[in-house]
Structure 1
Amino acid sequence: MMNYGAAENSASNNLHLITITENQDLSVDNSAWEKVWLLDSHLEVVMLVSVILNSMAAGIIFIFSNTVMPSLATLNADVGINIMNTINTIIVNPLFIIAFFGGLVSAYPTRVMMKNPDLYSKPARYYALASTVIFFLGEFMVTVTQNVPRNNALLVVDPESEDGQNYWEHNFLKRWIAWNTARGIFAAIAAALGGLSLCFMRKSPVE
């Protein structure tokens, strides 16, 4: 005679085991995703911030070379000079400084990783170093030595004068834009290298 109660209990137990197994698999999957997507240390957080800020700097620079400056070049020299001087005055504020130069925070994780080669893989260390050096020399130093001096010179020219017009058309629009484009390229490269460093931060030093 068939024992229906035993059969029901067996089916219930099997269903319970299946549920437990599925929950365990889901837990493992969630753990794996967390390991992949969640930042594991403060160094990763700082490097991610650097990548974001480097990308923001590259975006700001791109807008100027691609849109703002070509638009100003279509205007009369005196109008273009006055608008650019206004932009240069307003744009210097704490938020802009953070967005434009904040990517240099990558120097911190770079220093820590270079001092601890046994803890961090070679790609993570050298991508971080390359990102920091390229951003410092290619974005920060170009800004300080090439773009800012031209901004300052533009502030003191007479927009109505022939000298002011010549400076605007033959120096500022050509050389400022060229250096601006260069620093944008360097900022984008630094962001990419920082991202690569971030990807390798969890790799074993022996890998």
Structure 2
Amino acid sequence: MDWIPEAALVAATVVNGLLAGVFLAFSCGVVPGLRRVDDLSYVTVFRAVNASIVNPLFMLVFLGAPIATGAALVLHLDAARQDTPAYLVAGLVLGLLSFAVTAFVNVPLNTRLVAAPIGDAHQRMEARDRFEMRWNRWNHVRTITSTAAVVLLAIS
């Protein structure tokens, strides 16, 4: 059973890496692409993405990242290498920060965008203006924190 702590660490690293990849894909692919479209297209596409991303596979990764990291930490507390738990704690903290940004900033912004009236050009512009810059800024934050979490987990 000596393999279980290492398997948990591998699982934590993989799911955190997948999550960081999703956030990075938004930062360097989705967001720059949407920047080029009109307000109606922007709001329509972002609403569609928000609806489709909440699916079992994404939720497994999103919720699995902090759970797997916490499990790996607990399983490594008796490890002979004392630096491993320190890197795991730092990785968990950064992963939880990424989780918190998503839960307390990006998701509420998504919810407001879905609820925003978009019946005319002015409403679409307002909906986008209230959403885009703030959502992008915080997505960059969670991209950095989740990527740093993966690096620390890989080091451990």
TM-score (normalizing by structure 2): 0.91
Residue 83 of structure 1 deviates from its aligned partner by 0.9
Higher RCO (CA-CA < 8 Å; seq separation 6+): 2
Instruction: Give the aligned partner of residue 45 of structure 1.
Output: 7
Instruction: Give the aligned partner of residue 44 of structure 2.
Output: 82
Instruction: Give the aligned partner of residue 156 of structure 1.
Output: 115
Residue 40 of structure 1 deviates from its aligned partner by 5.0
- CA contact 1:135–1:186 (8 Å) conserved in 2: yes
Instruction: Give the aligned partner of residue 165 of structure 1.
Output: 125
Moved >4 Å (runs of 4+): none
Instruction: Give the aligned partner of residue 144 of structure 2.
Output: 185
Instruction: Give the aligned partner of residue 201 of structure 1.
Output: none
Q: Following superposition of structure 1 onto structure 2, how do residues 24-173 of structure 1 map, counting pairs within 5 Å?
A: 40-104=2-66, 105-114=68-77, 116=78, 119-137=79-97, 139-161=98-120, 162-168=122-128, 170-173=129-132
**RMSD of the TM alignment (CA)?**
1.6
Counterpart CA distance in 2 for 1:88 and 1:120 is 44
In the alignment, structure 2 segments of 5+ residues that lack a partner are none
- CA contact 2:117–2:127 (8 Å) conserved in 1: no
TM-score (normalizing by structure 1): 0.70
Sequence identity percentage: 27
Counterpart CA distance in 2 for 1:177 and 1:135 is 18
Question: How many residues were matched structurally?
Answer: 154
Residue 121 of structure 1 deviates from its aligned partner by 1.8
- CA contact 1:53–1:99 (8 Å) conserved in 2: yes
Q: Deviations over 1:79-138 (max 9, x none)?
A: 110111011101101101122332211101212333x3xx4321011111111111012x
Counterpart CA distance in 1 for 2:72 and 2:50 is 32
